[in-house]
Structure 1
Amino acid sequence: MTTTQHLIGYKRVSTSAQDAKLQADALAESGCFKVFEDKASGKSADRAGLMAAMEYLREGDTLCVWKLDRLGRSTKDVLVIAEDLHARGISLRILTGTLAGSYSPSGEGKFFFTMMVAFAELERDMIVERTRAGLAAAKAKGRTGGRPTVMDADKLTVAKARRAKGESVTAIAKALGVSRATLYRALEE
């Protein structure tokens, strides 16, 4: 049986607002022949890019990920993926982080990998927990996160009056010192 021996990359960001350039650069530098991408949470079951990569991979190939948490957030999911790859004769290579290197699914390598996957999941859970606690503490003090509001009630009243007189959105936005998009959103509400 002939094996392909290609490096295949997989990159993932949690939202479309995030940029995968750092991952893409690392995967390209490592020599990945082809790269698959998802813009979805690691906990999401709908990761078309990962599914396409899994279908594309052949015996002898290596799946490369920038960091272990890009492959998945749950210990169980990452272990299932790693075991599936191993059973098919496909290697797993992690480019950065504590587990940088190749996954060995036997003996001490499997134990270490399992522990590191569990620690990665624990780390993510702790970050989420700390973020929520911080937001709750700020809210209890009357502070809220996010960008400050630029369209207060006074500006909105002025904008509506000027718009009713037929003034253009561009002119009103310029006079109030806000963007047209902000003004459109405020007028729609």
Structure 2
Amino acid sequence: MRNLIQIVNDLNDREISFHSLHENITIDRSNATGQLMFHLFASFAEFERNLIRERTEAGRIAARARGRVGGRPEKFDKKEEEMIKTLASNGTPIKDIAQMMGISRTTVYRYLDK
């Protein structure tokens, strides 16, 4: 995957200027000052993205330490999960189990793989 610097360098090679709509600035990459400004902005953007990633991961770790788990809650409790496994082990077709429980066949297989 190409990054922003590669894309802007390719545009610059084709004599296409870069204009940031968000910051409302045009960076003239034909001189040293413009190249420096562009690389500074790119570095700050990467730094900010990495900070967000680190904070998000720290939040997940803290939530897990408090007993919280991410993701969607389970549809069935242990009793219903055992019923799905029992039906499957007795030879009931997966399609029938899915219709009976109101779930997709993929979900049935997911419960069987647990």
Q: Sort the TM-score into its range (normalised by shorter chain).
A: 0.7 to 0.9
SS at match of 2:18: strand
SS at match of 1:126: helix
Residues 103, 109 of structure 1: 8 Å contact kept: yes
Query: Sequence identity, in percent?
Result: 33
User: Are residue 104 (structure 1) and residue 46 (structure 2) matched?
Assistant: no
Residues 94, 108 of structure 2: 8 Å contact kept: yes
User: Are residue 176 (structure 1) and residue 101 (structure 2) matched?
Assistant: yes
TM-score, normalised relative to structure 2: 0.74
Deviation at 1:153, TM superposition (A): 2.8
What are the residue-to-residue correspondences of 1:100-179 with 2, within 5 Å? 103-105=27-29, 106-179=31-104
Deviation at 1:122, TM superposition (A): 1.2
Cα 1:96/1:168, change in 2 over 3 Å: farther
SS at match of 2:62: helix
Query: Could you list the runs of 5+ residues in structure 1 that have no partner in the other structure?
Result: 1-46, 51-70, 73-77
Q: Deviations over 1:122-176 (max 9, x none)?
A: 1101110110111011011000111222244322210121123332222212332
TM-score, normalised relative to structure 1: 0.49
| More helix, by proportion | 2
Aligned length: 113
| More strand, by proportion | 1
Query: Could you list the runs of 5+ residues in structure 2 that have no partner in the other structure?
Result: none
